[in-house]
Amino acid sequence: YERRVCNAQPCPLDVMCVARMDLVVGIDASGSMGASGWKAQRTALLGLINRLQFSKKSGLQLGVLKFSYKVSVLQQLTDDKKKLVAAVTKTKFDRWTTNIGGAFRSMKGMLQFGRRDAPSVCMLWTDGRPSRPSSKYDAALGAKDLRSSCRVMVVTMRPAVPKAYVAPWVSHPQSQNVLVVQHPNLMVSKVMDVNTFVCGKVQRF
């Protein structure tokens, strides 16, 4: 038999997402994040924004919400990078419970501002589980409803929220729609991983 070396070139250190899609990101503002985790998550989202190619006609639109006990839409879908950066920069840490079901329902509402001819993706970042059995059921219902409108993806940020726990929420194939990060404080170092996870078309900076 014959052996051949494939893909010997080094992976690019940084890439830009150039896919055409409507992306909604939900970030976790619950108390379990901690002040340092919240700051790292917000910084990571700003880093992701800098790696997205925005264009209403041919590129990406992004919408952002945060969720804790309440869900707050920080910015509806837009290709205005300055608006997105300003909205994420000024948002505050809520420090309450983890309302994942509410986040999923709000994401679906945000998609009404999307483009009919662009793929829709909803990506939730969380480090916590729903606080009560009823909340867990609510999250499952919200996810099921959302999957009819977009591709649902989840980034988990603690071992207490394993891949198997969130897999029923996401779109199929589940193995391609869950990204595991071990701690919120590591999110800044995982920006490129998140970018390639969510984006179907990237190019080097």
Say how many domains are in the chain: 1
Tokens 């891949």: give the residue: 163
Residue 187, pLDDT > 70, answer yes
What's phi and psi for 159, nearest 5 deg?
A: -60, -25
Q: At what angle do helices 34-49 and 81-90 cross, to 10 degrees?
A: 180
Q: Is 180 helix (H, G, I), strand (E, B) or coil?
A: strand
Which among 159, 154, 194 is positioned nearest to 177, based on CA atoms?
Answer: 154
Confidence of residue 1 (pLDDT cuts 50, 70, 90): low
* Residue 205 located in a structural domain: no
What's phi and psi for 127, nearest 5 deg?
A: -115, 5
95: left (phi over 0), alpha (psi -120 to 50) or beta: left
* Residue 145 located in a structural domain: yes
Range of the domain at 84: 16-199
Q: Is 192 helix (H, G, I), strand (E, B) or coil?
A: helix
Q: Which residue has the higher pLDDT, 130 or 85?
A: 85
12, 110 Cβ separation under 8 angstroms: no
46, 40 Cβ separation under 8 angstroms: no
The per-residue pLDDT for range 147-159, each reduced to its tens digit, is: 999 999 999 999 9
Dmax (CA) for the chain in angstroms is 61
Q: Is 37 helix (H, G, I), strand (E, B) or coil?
A: helix
Q: Report the DSSP beta bridge partners of residue 61.
A: 22
Confidence of residue 78 (pLDDT cuts 50, 70, 90): very high
Joined together, the tokens standing for residue 42 give 């917000």
Q: What is the mean pLDDT of residues 96-108?
A: 97
Which pLDDT score, from 0 to 100, does residue 6 have? 52
* Residue 3 located in a structural domain: no
Q: What is the CATH number of the domain that holds 179?
A: 3.40.50.410
**Could you tell me the CA-to-CA distances from 82 to 165, 174, 205 in Å, in that order?**
35, 33, 20
**pTM for the model:** 0.92
